[in-house]
Amino acid sequence: MSAEKLRLDKYLWAIRIFKTRTQAAAACDTGKVKMNGAAVKAARAVGIGDVYEIKTEAKRWKIEVTGLLANRVQYTEAIKYYVDVTPEDDQQFNQRIAASFHTGKRPSKIGRPTKKERRDLDDFMQED
């Protein structure tokens, strides 16, 4: 595949916006990737200078393509192939989402009792 004809889903995967190419293609199909306000398909050819608006679960992006990258590389290398031109208000929105992100871990000493607490509770209930 030549560098001049690079699919959008492959490019978004290569620059590490999406973890898998399937996720990148699905985002294109569901209208979460836009160019000039219009949804674009996953097979669209990427060109240098194109500006895309991308919505992921964690963040809203607005990127400008500065180079074509066909294969996935390290993050430090991948960021050289686009410029993040996300407006200031969307960046604040992204920070609010990150601040409220739930990891799934329960806070310490809240919730289920420890084994010792459970034994003490059982002993207390048995005394009646």
| CATH number of domain containing 97 | 3.10.290.10
Handedness of CA 58, 23, 9, 15 (dihedral sign): positive
Q: Is residue 2 part of a domain?
A: no
- Domain extent, residue 16, equals 8-126
pTM value? 0.68
- Tokens 């410029």 appear where? 83
The total number of structural domains in the chain stands at 1
pLDDT single digits (tens) 9-57: 999 999 999 999 999 999 999 999 999 889 999 999 999 999 999 988 8
Please give the average per-residue pLDDT across 100-118, as a whole number.
72
Tens-place pLDDT, residues 70-86: 899 998 999 999 998 88
- Whether residue 30 lies inside any domain: the answer is yes
**Residue 90 belongs to some domain of the structure:** yes
